[in-house]
Structure 1
């Protein structure tokens, strides 16, 4: 290649990779794909949904076989997660980690062409509410997974990380510049971060401005958003106008304080729910997520990190089988409903609107509602509603939620219907002490949707029991096998 050709190629390469390049924004968008749903979308439909909406990076919370197969040769980069309950066996033996990597990473990379870039070891394992349950297993599991990736010849292609909640750092001064790691886990955090850095791997942090508002009724509402008008938090020469930047830069200060100023950081989860709480609504979610997407597309960082990290929007779709211990809003983080239908408009970049899921098959167009002849004073009504809501998702009925203003009859109808749909419109499922009947007239009211569930008849995905979380068969078997080997002293 001649000198002039070389210089031209070098110029074009710089132009493409520059923030001012002609293809600004090609980095794309990232999001979380959760599968804790009684009626999940078919995996190939989700992959198409991701691609049509400009997402080229996705984070899975577990090695879901259907998802990993569907993502093969899709052009989407994948972060695959390891649930916390797997940390103990993985920490106990490198061979357990080798087996996990072979079954859940290597096989999908080689057989299906799945572009796995990260393995997320655990999920917020140092949450204070876990009472140190994973304190002694997270780092050894991380080390063993790294060793297993190297053994599999994937050490350069696939990086390790640990998604952490923002409660791993704090600031006693109340300012981002005062950031440091929690005293009880500071030494552990430094060891983990050093290990990640030694292996050219990033730190992952989850930030939830919504939870600041949810936890503190006196929190300034506008400070939770990117375009608010709350009084800024002044930290030296920097003025912070939103909690996301202040929170993120608190972490950066903690890293700087402990000698890791150049540590790469990924935002593993950030978003806004649409139901289950008075502050969880479509208007707030649209306001927050639109500004977030705009920041990502514009390449906007924070005062301390001008280069923005990878930011994984939480989440793609609603999940009606998630735990509600943090709050009823937990099942409503999706920018789409459970079936890939659009909740609210978003400009995904250059005026491109959201595109709904295509090819979704539903159960019969019928609903189970309270019979017009039934009385709200019937002695079995309360127990019938309680029964329905103990097996199905009634979180939309709460105060301030989308169905929170229904009258007594409609309230019962919602409960009856969500149970009826959750059990796949079973013939005997709409017989609540002769209080219910079937109708073909949609009983939805205003913002309150009476759902019809997805028909799972042809799905590859394993159905999930509402009584508890069911892992995928392959990962469950790997977990059981590992435990057996440990117990028997094979390692």
Structure 2
């Protein structure tokens, strides 16, 4: 069913008051064994001045908590739904009706899939993404929501590359070049942004010879790149503008860009620690609050920090750091000082309920010969 008329008027009014690129956003992931109640997380978002949040699915309880919060939302569609959405317009209409139309939430974007062209997926989603995008767009049009809710797809930065170390040599990856142009044309035709996830930490993680100072925003003159008079003193700017050049040389130089994910983990690797995370995120935030963009796009960057809270149930296949991207620990406690929109630093979650402390005692019925005893004891201990 559609929004009630009052809810629609509220959302449209908010859309007029809040610009699409205003404020700083956060990614709110939910792969945790002990997630905070959505109402507490929404309060934490507001207390810390976040005006936008990016979700990886369309959890009804989270959307209910975000109702009338004033927070702009990018709601996500997981990759495992791309097959049904690509093959059925009705499935897309049902998804929009259930997850967009029925909530009085300021939904600005629908993220169709998440980094679907990663090499790890072995091309599974290459033929599915564009028709899924098209069907979701058609569903939004049919629901009368296409003017305020835009379709996008968060992509990993490996969808483009440079034949040298210069951003101006950037272009889309050769194996998906034609498909990327079709996707870009679709985004352009529908007034949608290109959403890209950029991780300088991964550059450092993947290459032991990568210059550490170039990963941060401290003016690494020893590693700076001069590209036709444009000087790049950090890898984020160089990566971002490689995308700008890829868009520009293919005729879409004015397409808007959202940085869907950017951040630094605090554990799980020698370079993943609170000191580096604070240095990176504060450096990035200082640029955002100063209204500084990149050499090719000087206007302020529209971005979502990754991530809000640690997720201890995430797969560690990409690396042990995967569970440690949060600005906050799992209970909403800040990990390190960080100035976002005020001088007071991060504000912890309020009204968090903790379980009483208990001792773990081995059952007298347990056999030391049971192969499950060792792992169970280790889990209880740690």
TM-score (norm 1): 0.70
Mapped partners of 1:237, 1:194: distance in 2: 30
* 3-state SS of paired residue (1:416): helix
Change in Cα spacing, 1:150 to 1:218, as seen in structure 2 (3 Å) is: same
The answer as to whether partners of 2:36 and 2:330 remain within 8 angstroms in 1 is yes
Mapped partners of 2:311, 2:207: distance in 1: 25
Mapped partners of 1:194, 1:281: distance in 2: 40
Match of 2:146 among 155, 163, 185: 155
1:137 match: 128
Whose Rg is larger?
Answer: 1
Number of aligned positions between the proteins: 357
Alignment RMSD (CA, Å): 1.9
Match of 1:225 among 216, 228, 233: 216
| Structure 1, gaps ≥5 residues long | 1-16, 18-25, 371-378, 389-411, 419-491
Moved runs in structure 1, 4+ residues, more than 4 A?
367-370, 379-385
1:266 match: 258
Q: Does 2:313 align with 1:349?
A: no
Mapped partners of 1:360, 1:172: distance in 2: 50
* 3-state SS of paired residue (2:171): strand
* 3-state SS of paired residue (1:143): helix
Mapped partners of 1:368, 1:281: distance in 2: 30
1:320 match: 312
The answer as to whether partners of 1:294 and 1:349 remain within 8 angstroms in 2 is no
Match of 2:296 among 304, 310, 314: 304
Change in Cα spacing, 1:236 to 1:361, as seen in structure 2 (3 Å) is: same
1:173 is displaced (CA, Å) by 1.4
Mapped partners of 2:168, 2:263: distance in 1: 24
Match of 2:329 among 328, 337, 340: 337
1:291 is displaced (CA, Å) by 0.9
2:3 match: none
1:474 match: none
Mapped partners of 2:369, 2:213: distance in 1: 45
1:94 is displaced (CA, Å) by 0.8
The answer as to whether partners of 1:101 and 1:149 remain within 8 angstroms in 2 is yes
1:173 match: 164
Mapped partners of 1:383, 1:212: distance in 2: 39
2:235 match: 243
Mapped partners of 1:329, 1:343: distance in 2: 15
Change in Cα spacing, 1:306 to 1:381, as seen in structure 2 (3 Å) is: farther
